[in-house]
Amino acid sequence: MDWNPWIKENLHCCSCGGSLQDSEHINIICLDKLATWQYPRWGNVLVHEKYPMNRASAILCDRCIQEKQPAKYAVEWNNERTQVKYHKVEDLKDLPQIPHEEIAKAEAELYDFGIEEPSSEM
């Protein structure tokens, strides 16, 4: 299924609240906040054992992405895509940030890039 038309027609930007109709891209942001709902949730499959895939998502318009505007709301929809609900980011429980270093290390192990741990000698 192509989600873009449904998202553009039924959702609003989670930062400015504006329409997504004129956005060229669907900009989905993974938040370091707990999603207590089913859809959508996000995470990183490379580190999902340590950081479960239960993170809230926000969808931002191209302008808010370009202006580096923060998400004010996380978005939720039901499996049938008949209901959309917005949650204030400030009201959601914080989750620890997923460190980029851990993702890079997991990716290197997956593909065996041979990346070595940095030396403590300097």
| Residue 80 counted as domain residue | yes
**Res 113 pLDDT > 80:** no
Give the residue with greater pLDDT, 121 vs 110: 110
pLDDT digits over 29-71, tens only?
Answer: 999 999 999 998 887 787 888 887 899 999 999 999 999 999 9
Residue 120, domain member (yes or no): no
Task: Note the pTM of the prediction, 2 decimals.
Answer: 0.79
Nearest to 86 by CA among 11, 6, 9, 8: 11
Q: What is the pLDDT of residue 110?
A: 78
- Residue 116: which pLDDT band, with cuts at 50, 70 and 90? low
| Dihedral sign of CA atoms 61, 66, 67, 69 in order | positive
- Please give the residue range of the domain that contains residue 9: 3-111
- State the total domains in the chain: 1
Q: Calculate the dihedral angle through the C-alpha atoms of 82, 43, 33, 29, rounding to the nearest 10 degrees.
A: -70
**116 domain residue, yes or no:** no
